Structure 1
Amino acid sequence: MLTSKAFENSNLQKYKQIIVAVQEAISNGALKKGDKLPSVNTICEAHDFSRDTVLTAYAALKNKGVIVGVPGKGYYIKSVKTDYKQRVFLLFDELNAFKEVLYNSFLEALGEAAEVDIFVHHFNPVMYKKLIEESAGSYDAYAIMPANLPNALEPIKLLPAKQVYLLDQVRESGTDSYGAVYQHFSKDISKALYSGMDLLKKYERLVLVFDRRKEPLGMQEGFIRFCTMFSFSYEVTAEFQSNLLKPSSVYILPNDNDLVHLLKAAKTQKLIVGEDIGVISYNDTPLKEVVAEGITTISTDFKAMGSLLATMIKHKNSSQIANESSLIIRNSL
């Protein structure tokens, strides 16, 4: 008999509940190649499903090459290997230049072994939940950027844990059963600022522009810890405003829109970037190499992140691996 928490999820379409249950049974070894599946009637009686519901689920599994139907005998596990094209659900929080680098690297590393459907939740918790619930049972792997959305792990619980890969941000609790390629934001910002200590000392204070609705909380924690440990005067503000711009300050800007506003304000106030004020942006792009004679960045290697994610999915590796970040020093500091 198939058992799965998916059968308790009223938000998941009934035929997808069956697909998830079969996938989980294969993942945990309860079903092996050649094993017979419960009959259509057995599943109907056990879960009060219609025959059409069960047949729809079995047809989807047949199309994936997972099961085979034998006339007069029933349905059997055909393969527990992905000798068919994997279908990958990729959920980003937003689209931007560095996410494009990650995406292209991911596709290149996967090659012809998989088909990828990309979705974006735009930090909208309702959209995030809806996209995951509607995808459940339809993919072989789920790569998800949960950002710092409230209750972000709840809809993920609908998915087979071994098929889930968290990307970019990982919560400290409740994520041990999932694979992940992530940034350690608290550690990374502290390490990056420490590596630029000599340059930071020429300024009187550090300012982090931090929108807690979108940015990882660890970033703020690591910033405050660094400033406290090395006795830097500091400020954390939710958004950049031109009246906040003061000489002898370093501005750390995770959001590129804030970077644009700062550069415009500095020009208006005749403040020289790299002399009167310091600027550190997040996430390196080719444009930041040339803007204002070079913008200093704290950045991870998004190309490496995409490639590593693809490798983990292809080999069903559920490890959690930190993608290191570093400070790239340019004229703006």
Structure 2
Amino acid sequence: MITIKSNIGIPKYKQIINSIEESIVSGALKKGDRIPSINEIKNKHKLSRDTVLMAFNELKNRGVIQSIVGKGYYISSENVNVRQKIFLLFDELNAFKEDLYNALKDSLGEAIELEIYFHHFNKDIFKKLILDNVGNYSYYVIMPANLKNTKEIIDNLPSEKVFVLDQMHHDLSAFPAVYQNFEKALYNNLKLVKHRIENYQRLYLVNNENKQPKGMLSGFTKFCKDNDLEGSIVENLKDKLPKSGDLYIIPDDKNLLRIIKKMKEVKLVLSKDIGIISYNDTLLKELVEGGITTISTDFNTMGKRLAEMILNKEHKQIENPNKLIIRNSL
């Protein structure tokens, strides 16, 4: 199964990789089959342990083999064309995260495989997913969301293989990242429509502190203070009955649909009676009620730029652009 030759100009660790790949392609090895152990290969071919381990680590990072504690190494994929395998940890799946995923996948190319996981804003799940996958991937793309003290968990990964996505916490500033500046985005874009905001009597930010970025809250608070406006924070709109003169800034889609439904129930007219500014643009927001005004980052650009950083091994922190799209709701 393993063929090693001297003086042929191919490193011996690469010959181990080639031997295993050829066995998979020929059908001699199939998914689930056990391969010889590190010690078996080392002793039979008189190699150093590091040489064999280097080969196994590369195959493991590409997802071709996996290790099972106490049992050994097994074939986990018959796709030998994958050159790299990337661990992608998102907070949750939604329409714009799907755009981000697709842009990243398309920009990386077919030789790089993405495996996506979700922590759902749960730190225990975040920790388990990372610790269970240490050493299994070529790179790790981590979306920490607003979870606190994630560095102590992320530090279990090789630092040169980690990229941070979307939210950039102070303690993660040593890692390369493509991130959103939520405070600046909210503040600056609200400032652009201050003349419209002043047509309303009450200004609300819907903010669930377990899910929404802290920068969004600080940007809203700063805008209200600098412009002498009274702003209120509400956790959700489940029990909130809209009144004429209300303006809502709504980061999540569930509360957006709630307020539109209640608005119709009490016969209020969007834009005239109440205003809505949503976060993150989707096709739904372009069409519903004649269009919902949004503050949105460009998730396609985020995915493409992250792919460039991975492919070029760039170590930068890049702020992703955002824009205000004014529609019928304001």
TM-score (norm 2): 0.76
Superposed displacement of residue 84, structure 1: 7.1
Tell me what 1:179 maps to: 176
2:312 corresponds to which residue?
315
| 1:158 alignment partner AA | N
Q: Is the 1:162–1:177 Cα contact (8 Å) retained in structure 2?
A: no
Residue in structure 2 matched with residue 127 of structure 1 by the alignment: 125
State the Cα distance separating 1:244 from its structure 2 match: 4.2
Which of residues 136, 139, 154 is equivalent to 1:138? 136
Q: How many Å apart are 1:134 and its aligned residue?
A: 1.1
Match 2:205 to one of 208, 211, 228 = 208
The DSSP-based 3-state class of the residue aligned with 1:123 is coil
Q: Check the 8 A contact 2:61/2:84 in 1, yes or no.
A: no
Q: What runs of 5+ residues in structure 1 fail to find an aligned partner?
A: 1-38, 41-52, 67-82
Q: Once the two structures are superposed, what CA deviation does each residue of 1:16-49 show, in whole Å capped at 9, x if it has no partner?
A: xxxxxxxxxxxxxxxxxxxxxxx98xxxxxxxxx
**Number of residue pairs matched?**
266
Structure-2 residue corresponding to 1:228? 225
Q: Once the 2 structures are TM-superposed, how far is the Cα of residue 152 of structure 1 from its aligned partner?
A: 1.7
Residue in 2 that maps onto 1:114: 112
| Contact persistence 2:61–2:135 (CA under 8 A) | no
Q: Give, in whole Å, the separation in 1 of the partners of 2:185 and 2:215.
A: 9
2:56 aligns with 60
Q: Which residue of 2 aligns with 1:328?
A: 325
List aligned pairs for 1:257-268, cutoff 5 A.
257-268=254-265
SS of residue paired to 1:305: helix
Alignment of 1:40-51 (within 5 A): none
1:199 offset after TM fit, Å? Answer: 1.1
RMSD value over aligned CA atoms? Answer: 2.2
Alpha-carbon contact 2:165-2:179 (below 8 Å) kept: yes
Q: Aligned with 1:290: secondary structure?
A: helix
5+ residue gaps, structure 2, are 1-37, 40-48, 63-80
- Please report how far the alpha carbon of residue 92 of structure 1 lies from its aligned counterpart in structure 2 after TM superposition: 0.5
Partner amino acid for 1:266? M
Structure showing greater radius of gyration is 2
Q: Residues 110, 331 of structure 1: CA spacing in aligned structure 2 closer, same or farther, 3 A cutoff? A: same
Q: Secondary structure at the match of 2:114?
A: strand
Identical aligned residues as a percent: 45
Distance 2:267 2:53 in 1: 66
Higher relative contact order (CA 8 A, sep 6+): 1
Moved over 4 A (4+): 53-59
